[in-house]
Amino acid sequence: MSEEGTHNAPPAPEANPEEINASCRGPVLFLFFSAALWAVQATGVGLLGSLKMHVPGFLADFSHLTYGRLQANSWVAFLYGFAGNAGLGLTLWMLSRLRGMPLARPGFVLAGAFLWNAGATAAMVGITMGDQPGVAGYELPAYASRLLLIGQAFIAFSAIITYFSRRHQQLYPSSWFLIAGLVAFPWIVGTAHWLLVETPVRGAAQIPVAHWAVTSLQQIWLGCMGLAAILYFIPKITGRQLYSRQWAAFGFWMLLILGGWVNLNSGSPLPVWSIKLSQYASGLFIFVLIAIGWNLRQTAKGVPLLGSNDLTLQCMGFALGAWLITALFTFGNVYSDWNSLLQFTYAGTAVRQFFAWGFFAMAMFGAVYYVAPRLFIGEVDWACSGTYKWIFRLTAIGAVVILLAGLGMSYLHGHALQAGSAEVLKKALMPMRIAFLGEILFFMSSLIFLGSMACLLFRNCCGEYSPMALIRKCRAAKAEGGAE
C-alpha cells in the first residue's frame, strides 16, 4: 500500500537535485570532512597499538598508551568518529534525495555534528585517561555517550523532518535501512549507557548487555547504513531497477530481528539457553545473506562490479562482498566447534576489522566519492581523481590481508589453545603481526582520503574566495606583473 493511497492530497512537487545538494552542502561536507579526520585518527592510533605487538616495550612507560587503551581508542575513533560522521552525512543526503526535498533544519545538523564530534573527542580523552567502562567494542564513558546521544538526536531531528516533508508513492528500500539506523543508534547506545555505565547492573548481567550492544552497533547500526548505500548506489550507477523489493524487505527485517542475537561465543559465562539462541540466530542469518546477496546479484547481473570503470561501483562491489563474507562468518557460528576453536583468537577482531573497513568504510568511501563533488555548485570533481583510486586499492588489500591472517592463522592459534601447545604465544602473535601490514595500508588510505577531502574543499569551498581560487588569482596576477 502506498502512502498516497491513504491521503487525498497529491504529493508535494519534488525539488530539483541542485537545490537538494545545496541544502546539504554545509552540514554534509562538515560531517564528511570530520569523518576523514577521524579515519586518520582511528588508523593512526590502531597502528600505534599494533606496533606494541611487535615491540612490547615500545612506549611502555606511558600509562596512557597501553595496548588496551590504544585499541579502545582506535575502535571508538572508527565507530563514533569515522563511521558516525560519514554514515550520518550520507543518511542526510540520501534521505533528502530519496524524498526529493531539501534538507530540513540544516542548523540542527551542524549543532548536532559539533556535539557528536565533541562526544567522540570526549570518549578519546576519557579512554586515554582510563575512563573506559571495560566493554570492548563499546568503550564510551558516560559523558561521551550523553554528548553523542544528544548530537545524534539533533541530526536525527533534521533527518526525520526531511523524511516526513514529502510523501512518495513508494519508499525506496534504502530509506528503510536509513530510518532503522537512526532509530537503532539511540536505542543501542541508550541501553548500554544506562545498564553498563550510568546505573550498571550486576557484573554477571553486564555480559549479555555488552554483547547485545556491541553486536547491534556493528550488525544493525553500521550494517543498515552501509547496506543502504549499497542498495542505493549499485542500481543507480548501473542504471537498473533493484531486482526485488520483497527480497530487500525480507533481508531488512531479518537483519533487524537477528542482528542483536548473533555471534555470542560458546564459552561465554552465560545461561546455556542464551548461547543456544544465539547459535540458532547465527544459523538463521544465512537468510539475511541470501536475501541481500541474491537481490543485488540479480540487480547487477552481468555487470562486473569490481572491474567497473566507476570507482563508486567498485567500492560498492567490494563492500558488498565484504558484507557477504562477514555474514558467512556469522553463519559459521552456528557450529559450536568452529566457534570454540576461534573464540579466543584474533579471528573475531580480524572479522570486525574486515567488516569495518572492507564493508562499511569501503561503502562510505564510494558514497563520498559520488556525493561530495555534487554538493558544490556547478561541475566539480576530485582534485586528483587518480589518488582516490588508491583509497580503494589500499583499503581493499588491507582488508583482505587482515581477513586472511585473522582467519587462517587464528585457526592455528585456536588449535594450539585446545592442544595445550607450548607454541601458543607464537601462534597468537603471528596473525596480529601480519595484520599489521593491513593496518599500515588502512592508515595510508585514510591519509589519502583526508588529503582528497581537503583538496576538494580548498578548491571549491567558498566560490571565488576558496584557497585554490585565491592562489590561482595570485599566480595570474604575478604572471601579469611579470609580463608587464
Partner 1 sequence: MNKSPWIFLGVLFALSLSWWGMVFGPASQANAAKADLGDGTSLHPRSGLAQQGEQIYRENGCYYCHTRMATGGTFGYEIQITQLGADKALTREIIGEEYAGNKIFEKAYAFQAVAAAQDAATAEGADVEATKATLEQAKAFANSIETEDSLIALGISGVTIEGDLAGELGLPIEMSDADKSTVADATFAVSKGIEQWDEIKDRVRALKDRAGAQFKLLPVADDWPDVVYWGARRQSVTRDFLHDVHAMPGVMRVGPDLSNVGGRQLDLNALYAKIYNSQAGGKSSHMPPYKYLFNVRSAKEGEELPTNAVTVSTGDGFKQSVEPDFVVTPTYKSRALAAYLQSLRNDRGLPEAPLPAVRKTSNPEEGE
* Per-residue b or e along 446-459, where b marks 16 or more CB atoms closer than 10 Å to that residue's CB: bbbbbbbbbbbbbb
- From the number of C-beta atoms within 10 Å of its C-beta (0-12, 13-18, 19+), residue 10 rates as exposed
72 binds partner 1 (CB under 8 A): yes
Cell numbers at 264, concatenated: 555470542
Q: How many residues bind partner 1 (CB under 8 A)?
A: 96
Determine phi and psi for 216, rounding to 5 degrees: -65, -40
419 binds partner 1 (CB under 8 A): yes
278 binds partner 1 (CB under 8 A): yes
**Binds partner 1 by CB under 8 A, chosen from 166, 240, 245, 389:** 245
The nearest distance, CB 259 to partner 1, in angstroms, is 7
Nearer to partner 1 (CB atom), residue 36 or residue 281:
281
123 binds partner 1 (CB under 8 A): no
12 binds partner 1 (CB under 8 A): no
The nearest distance, CB 158 to partner 1, in angstroms, is 16
In 3D space, the residue among 76, 60, 154 whose CA is nearest the CA of residue 116 turns out to be: 154
The nearest distance, CB 390 to partner 1, in angstroms, is 31
Nearer to partner 1 (CB atom), residue 171 or residue 447:
171
Indicate the residue type of 430: M
Interaction residues for partner 1, span 36-65 (CB under 8 A): 52-53, 56-57, 60-63
Nearer to partner 1 (CB atom), residue 336 or residue 466:
336
Around Cβ 183, how many Cβ atoms within 10 Å?
16
Nearer to partner 1 (CB atom), residue 103 or residue 213:
213
CB 72 within 8 A of CB 136: yes
Give dist(CA 130, CA 78) in Å, integer: 19
261 binds partner 1 (CB under 8 A): yes
Cell numbers at 467, concatenated: 584557497
CB 143 within 8 A of CB 122: yes
**Binds partner 1 by CB under 8 A, chosen from 14, 118, 157, 274:** 274
In 3D space, the residue among 18, 41, 1, 29 whose CA is nearest the CA of residue 89 turns out to be: 29
Around Cβ 330, how many Cβ atoms within 10 Å?
24
Interaction residues for partner 1, span 181-240 (CB under 8 A): 183-184, 187, 191, 195, 200-212, 215-216, 220
CB 245 within 8 A of CB 173: yes
Q: Is the Cα dihedral 171, 150, 111, 224 positive or negative?
A: negative
Interaction residues for partner 1, span 422-451 (CB under 8 A): 422, 424-425, 428-429, 432
Helices 67-76 and 17-54, axial angle in degrees (round to 10): 170
**C-alpha Rg value of the chain to the nearest Å:** 23
The nearest distance, CB 449 to partner 1, in angstroms, is 27
The nearest distance, CB 302 to partner 1, in angstroms, is 27
**Binds partner 1 by CB under 8 A, chosen from 32, 78, 116, 176:** 176
Interaction residues for partner 1, span 352-411 (CB under 8 A): none
CB 38 within 8 A of CB 77: yes
**Binds partner 1 by CB under 8 A, chosen from 15, 27, 29, 69:** 69
Give dist(CA 439, CA 457) in Å, integer: 27
Span from 231-239, 398-406, 418-426, 441-449 in contact with partner 1 (CB under 8 A): 418-426
Instruction: Report the SS3 class of residue 57.
Output: coil
Nearer to partner 1 (CB atom), residue 31 or residue 127:
127
9 binds partner 1 (CB under 8 A): no
Nearer to partner 1 (CB atom), residue 173 or residue 366:
173
The nearest distance, CB 134 to partner 1, in angstroms, is 4
Give dist(CA 280, CA 215) in Å, integer: 15
Nearer to partner 1 (CB atom), residue 66 or residue 466:
66
Alpha helix (H) residue ranges in 167-220: 173-192, 203-216
Interaction residues for partner 1, span 297-316 (CB under 8 A): none
DSSP 8-class letter at 354: I
The nearest distance, CB 352 to partner 1, in angstroms, is 10
336 binds partner 1 (CB under 8 A): no
Nearer to partner 1 (CB atom), residue 103 or residue 180:
180
The nearest distance, CB 328 to partner 1, in angstroms, is 20
Give dist(CA 320, CA 314) in Å, integer: 10
Give dist(CA 310, CA 18) in Å, integer: 22
**Binds partner 1 by CB under 8 A, chosen from 269, 302, 307, 386:** 269
In 3D space, the residue among 278, 227, 234 whose CA is nearest the CA of residue 252 turns out to be: 227
**Binds partner 1 by CB under 8 A, chosen from 346, 365, 392, 436:** 346
Around Cβ 337, how many Cβ atoms within 10 Å?
8
The nearest distance, CB 223 to partner 1, in angstroms, is 13
**Binds partner 1 by CB under 8 A, chosen from 41, 43, 71, 452:** 71
Span from 28-36, 66-74, 299-307, 466-474 in contact with partner 1 (CB under 8 A): 66-74
Nearer to partner 1 (CB atom), residue 261 or residue 369:
261
